Amino acid sequence: VSVLIVTGTGTGVGKTVVTAALASCAVGRVAVVKPAQTGVADGEPGDLAEVTRLAGVRDGYELARYPDPLAPERAAARSGRPPLRLDDVAARVRSLDAGHDLVLVEGAGGLLVRYAPDGWTIADLAVELGVPAVVVVAAGLGTLNHTALTLEAMQRRQIRLAGLVIGSWPSDPGLAECCNVADLEAIAGVPLAGALPENLAGTSDFAERARAALAPAFGGTFTGVAAGAAQTYRR
Ligand SMILES: Nc1ncnc2c1ncn2[C@@H]1O[C@H](COP(=O)(O)OP(=O)(O)OP(=O)(O)O)[C@@H](O)[C@H]1O
Ligand SMILES: [Mg+2]
């Protein structure tokens, strides 16, 4: 697979940090695409700047920026700038795919967030490109429903799950977090493909810690969350 959509159960779940982790574990030339960046003023650093800071990837492509902190369709309308078109975005990603070993495409918010008045979503982009999606999820209470809804919407569209990744795994996980690991795996029908430690973003050894937090399918060595934590609440 050379294109991966990075989506999630909602905004703020850790898609950008996971995108950076995937980029830093990948072998070869990596490009990162953020089709629409919202909530950031012109000239200010957006998600791509964060990926550069964390993973050192300089090959980033932001295709549109709409400053209001809203979903792209509404933010575009309020900005007076044209909305993105699905076929244009797909063409850009395809042409990047031709020159790279991996292209990561970070959506805005969750799977069914609209980009334009015709209602296209990152799910439609995955379908159009025929590529799988990584789903970034929260660790705590509420994540099971959000994850189930997201996976059901993907199944309906026949979008393959490349992996379920917990965006921020607490250093001191509680009952819900520990139980959710097994329950997320049951919902997905596959083992977790990663869990990033909650303090990953600022650390100097980002690449090394990212590798430990992502599964071998993504170039990492992750085989599960710390057994000790999950064992505490087993039953
Ligand atoms: N594992 C982590 N380690 C450190 N910080 C994290 C981690 N996961 C998330 N964060 C922080 O939580 C916030 C939200 O994460 P992030 O920006 O990756 O979410 P997102 O899903 O990309 O959000 P958006 O929908 O805005 O693109 C950021 O400030 C980020 O640095
Ligand atoms: Mg982001």
Alpha-carbon span 107 to 8, nearest angstrom: 8
pTM of the model: 0.96
Ligand 2 centre distance from Cα of residue 235 (Å):
35
The mean pLDDT value for 164-184 works out to 97
The mean pLDDT value for 36-53 works out to 98
Q: Which atom of ligand 1 is nearest to the CA of 202?
A: 4
The mean pLDDT value for 2-22 works out to 98
pLDDT above 70 (res 228)? no
Ligand 2 centre distance from Cα of residue 231 (Å):
32
pLDDT above 80 (res 210)? yes
Q: pLDDT value at position 204?
A: 86
pLDDT above 70 (res 1)? no
The mean pLDDT value for 154-176 works out to 98
Is residue 34 part of the annotated active site? The answer reads yes
pLDDT above 80 (res 225)? yes
Confidence of residue 203 (pLDDT cuts 50, 70, 90): confident
- Structure token pair of residue 164: 């379920």
Q: pLDDT value at position 227?
A: 61
The mean pLDDT value for 31-49 works out to 98
Give how far Cα 147 sits from Cα of 33, 83, 127, 181, Å. Answer: 23, 28, 19, 12
Residue 200 CB–ligand 1 contact under 6 Å = yes
Q: Which atom of ligand 1 is nearest to the CA of 201?
A: 4
Greatest alpha-carbon span in the chain = 55
Active-site residue among 15, 34, 65, 211?
A: 34
Residue 46 CB–ligand 1 contact under 6 Å = no
Q: Quick check: 146 and 135 in contact, CB under 8 A?
A: no
pLDDT above 80 (res 229)? no
When the pLDDT of each residue in the chain is averaged and rounded to a whole number, the result is: 96
3-state class (DSSP) for residue 78: helix
Confidence of residue 165 (pLDDT cuts 50, 70, 90): very high
Q: What is the pLDDT of residues 86-97, one digit of tens each?
A: 999 999 999 999
Residue 11 CB–ligand 1 contact under 6 Å = yes
Nearest in space to 5 (alpha carbons), one of 130, 169, 190: 130
